[in-house]
Every structure is written in structure tokens, then in C-alpha cells.
Amino acid sequence: MRTVTIPRPDDWHLHLRDEAMLALTVPATAQVFNRCVVMPNLVPPVTTVALAMAYRQRILAQLPASMSFDPKMALYLTDKTSLEDVEQAAANPDVIGFKLYPSGATTNSSAGVKSMAALDPLLEKMAALQVPLLVHGEVTDADIDIFDREQVFIERHLQPMLAKFPTLKLVLEHITTGNAVDFVLSQGDNVAATITPQHLLMNRNDLLVGGIRPHNYCLPILKRREHQMRLQQAALSANPKFFLGTDSAPHVQANKETSCGCAGCFSAPAAIELYAEFFDQHDSLDKLADFASGFGADFYGLPRNNETLTLKQHPWQVPEQVSVAQQQVVPYFAGETLNWQISRD
């Protein structure tokens, strides 16, 4: 039996949700990942250090006694964020940085930034204090095709932003296009990107061919095959600018399978196995450890994990459904067979 042992991985982009959903999401992630970056797009959003610490305690309250887990909190950047908020974030080791959502870009993003130009004083302070900016990189203009929104955001906002603040520490989250790969490669070591399992394993055919498949619907939306291939090349390149961020984002089945289904793939029940599947398909399992367990920690200036995790080549089936609070959630890759599984021996 083939096995691969890696340092315990980290998830640098994760949605845990809140309240009853935490009973599902926290154990699903903590049994695999040591650290994660928790997204702040709750209702109401997590905009201050005080709100983030209260949310962190709710997360840790759902942690089984046998598990260790270190959630790092992102604060929701809004038009009302203050310089004092940035200073408080910089002083708190449990806060990783600020998340930039353009207003209306994704789930619970209505409180997001409406004027990019108004951010300049905050960005200057963040650059000075080396507080990371985590970016959902899409414009939301109604006249911009949904498949072009990442590219336009990079051209319209990110390139001018980095020209003005060249030392700003920035992560372009869940990249989906070759344009994003090129942008990250064109910048200094202060700019990096996370890549999700769904954008490595799928393209828009997997969303639309043969009927709309709501559990493959996420934002940013799956793109053309040629963009998928550029992301694959980036992940396989062993370039430390690219690292794991699942963007695991659960929604109950009733909200996904509706006339206006919501965006998000709940990959946590099989996250590291999905990445192992991808790297093995490309004969590159030796590159999984740095991508999943090394490059992200290095970028954020954190120590790599000492614990290890072993995966074994053993077919298993991703559950069709998981339950939480008397409702059903359909995992990403539900019912499909994966060839790699965490060894619990």
C-alpha cells in the first residue's frame, strides 16, 4: 500500500459559519488541519478584534477535547474600518489580517467595500504594520461578464493598489484564472495566492454540462479548462507564492438546491484527500507537503507544524450527505470515490 506522510496541514481560507453549523464544521476541519484562516462574512460581519475574539471562542467551544486547533481570524474590511482597528489587529496574534470583499461579490458580502479609493489610508497603515490584506478579487459591475470579473478586478484595482503600496502584504484568495497566476508571479514576495480543490479538479463544464450542478457552484465561479490548467501548473510548480486554501463553505441542501442556489463548496470532509488526489494524478505527491503544510505558514511568518499526517492509497467514498441541526449538507464530491484516505492507525 502506498502512503505519504506530510506535516500537519493548514487551511488558509475557510468558512466555518456560526451557531449550529459550527458543530459540523469545526470537527471536520480540526481533525485534519492545525491552523486555519476563518472568514468573517457572518451576519452581522466580524469587523473588530473584539467581535473576532468572541467568534473564536464560539469556534473553540465546539472543538472536541481530543483535537488541537488554532483558528486565525480575519476581520471584515468595510468603509467604516478605522486606523485604530488596523493597529489592534496588528497587535493581536490571533488575528491574521483583513478580508476585502467588494460589496455584493459573494455570500454575505453586502457590507463589503463600495469605494476602493477610500481605502488608501487603511492600506498605507496595513503596509506599514505588515498586516495582510486577503482579497476576494472580483468586480461586481452588472455589465461585466461573471467569467471576466477576476481579470477586470486585477486590472482595475490590484495592479494600481500594488503600484501605490508596493510593500503591502496581500493574498489573492481562491484564484481561478491564468490572469491571477500571472499577476501573483509579477509581484514581489509580499504577494501570494490560495488555490481551492474545486478549481484544481474542475472547470465550468463540471458546473454546466448535462444540467446545472449546484454543489459545484462557487464564487469565483469555475472557469474554462485553459484557466484550470494554469492553476494546476501553479500548484505543481513548487513556487511558494501558491498554497492551500480550501474555501470550504457549507450551505444546507435546501438552500443549494433551489431556484436561486447559493455559492459555496463544502470540501472539509475530504479536503486533504482531494488535494492528494490532484497531486497524485500529476505524479507530484512529493510536492503536496510544501503546498499544504509549508508555503502558507512561511508566507504568514508562522512556524511550520511539527505534527505529521499520513495518507494511504485506499479507495473510499465521500458521503452523500452529512447532518447538522436536523438539516442536510451535501459535501463537495459527494458520492464519488477518492483513492487517498487519511490513515487513522
Q: What is the pLDDT of residues 52-71, one digit of tens each?
A: 999 999 999 999 999 999 99
Q: How confident is the model at residue 40 (pLDDT cuts 50, 70, 90)?
A: very high
Secondary element (H or E) of residue 11: strand 11-14
Q: If you average pLDDT over every residue of the chain, what do you get?
A: 96
What residue segments make up the domains of the chain, in order of their start? Answer: 3-342
Per residue in 283-318, pLDDT (tens digit) is: 999 999 999 999 999 999 999 999 999 999 999 999
Residues 318-328 as b or e (16 or more Cβ within 10 Å = b): beeebebeebe
HSE-CB at 102 with a 13 A cutoff on CA atoms is 20
* Percent over 90 (pLDDT), the chain: 93
Could you say which architecture CATH assigns to the domain 3-342?
Alpha-Beta Barrel (3.20)
Q: In what order do the strands lie in the sheet with 3-7?
A: 3-7, 308-317, 337-342
Average pLDDT over residues 27-47: 97
Q: How confident is the model at residue 107 (pLDDT cuts 50, 70, 90)?
A: low
Phi-psi region of 94 (alpha: psi -120 to 50; beta: other; left: phi over 0): alpha
Per residue in 209-255, pLDDT (tens digit) is: 999 999 999 999 999 999 999 999 999 999 999 999 999 999 999 99
The residue from 11, 85, 247, 290 that is catalytic is 247
CA pair distance 131, 134, nearest whole angstrom: 10
Per residue in 118-130, pLDDT (tens digit) is: 899 999 999 999 9
**What is the structure's pLDDT at 114?**
74
What are the distances in angstroms from CA 117 to CA 49, 140, 248, 290? 24, 16, 30, 36
Q: How far apart are the first and last CA of the chain?
A: 14
- Binding site residue list: 13, 15-17, 41, 99, 136, 174, 219, 247, 251, 263
CA pair distance 220, 261, nearest whole angstrom: 15
Provide the greatest CA pair distance for the chain.
57
Active site residue 283: no
**What is the structure's pLDDT at 118?**
87
**What is the structure's pLDDT at 101?**
92
- Binding site residue list for Zn(2+): 13, 15, 99, 136, 174, 247
Between 115 and 316, residue with greater pLDDT: 316
Instruction: Output the pTM of the full model.
Output: 0.96
- Does the pLDDT of residue 109 top 80, yes or no? no
Q: How confident is the model at residue 331 (pLDDT cuts 50, 70, 90)?
A: very high
- Binding site residue list for substrate: 15-17, 41, 136, 219, 251, 263
Residues 57-82 as b or e (16 or more Cβ within 10 Å = b): eebeebbeeeeebbbbbbbbbbeebe
